[in-house]
Amino acid sequence: MNPSEFEQLAAAAYKGERVASRRLAARTGTPELDALRHTLTQAAGLQGLAALLAARADLREREQGRRAERLHTQQTRIELKRAASQPPADAWRAWFDGSAHPNPGRLGIGALLCGPDGERTEINRQAGHGNSGEAEYLALIALLEAALPLRLTQLVVYGDSKVVIDDVNLAPALGAKGLEAHRARVHALLRELRLSGEVSVRWVPRHRNGDADRLSQQAIASWLRHDDEDAADAT
């Protein structure tokens, strides 16, 4: 079998033609190359095999060009969307997270506020008792309260709680039950912050919220240390 000729014919053949040629080869004992050539010659009809191969090669090339163009367009859209979602280089960025141990139980909150010139503020403290939604909200409130005196011109806040992010950004009628007071406090803080600049609150997956999670877990750990110390004093 001539590999180059067979590859040329196989590349030009449609799926049904390849299946038909394999069946012909199996039924008659004809070599695969001859069977494929016979099948395509029949498909070519009066125009001849060479014209068929040339036409299909041209069609294949144009389809590859269209596919490459679609891929380029898709990639461009992704890059533009990614660029639009990235805050300017001079914007402040912040992350928050809250934990409950157990849930509901003792709350620990963590937050990180970073400025464009290397400024860094960490929040790490116990926050009473409640559930995980309350812990997330209390972490966001603590973060916004820390940002308020700075009079920032642009702040992007990230959190990994869809419940809280959606609750903050959706219409009031769609708000989560039981979190209304926290939501009202966050909206009040956002209104104050927006008097001096632009503020947005966005969701990120948990693996991109590691610093805030670490800080909230440190707060939970401090609860546990106090428990151990109290137990030791009791004995």
10-residue mean pLDDT profile of the chain (235 residues): values are 79 93 93 93 93 93 91 76 71 96 94 96 95 96 97 95 92 76 95 94 94 95 69 53
What is the pLDDT at residue 198? 93
Q: How many CB atoms lie within 10 A of CB 171?
A: 6
Containing H/E element for 111?
strand 105-114
What is the pLDDT at residue 1? 46
Delimiting residues of CATH 3.30.420.10 domain(s) in the chain: 92-234
Yes or no: domain 92-234 corresponds to CATH 3.30.420.10: yes
Q: How many CB atoms lie within 10 A of CB 172?
A: 10
What is the pLDDT at residue 90? 86
Rounded to a whole number of angstroms, the distance between the first and last alpha carbons of the chain is 90
Q: What is residue 118's three-state secondary structure? A: coil
What is the pLDDT at residue 172? 67
What is the pLDDT at residue 80? 60
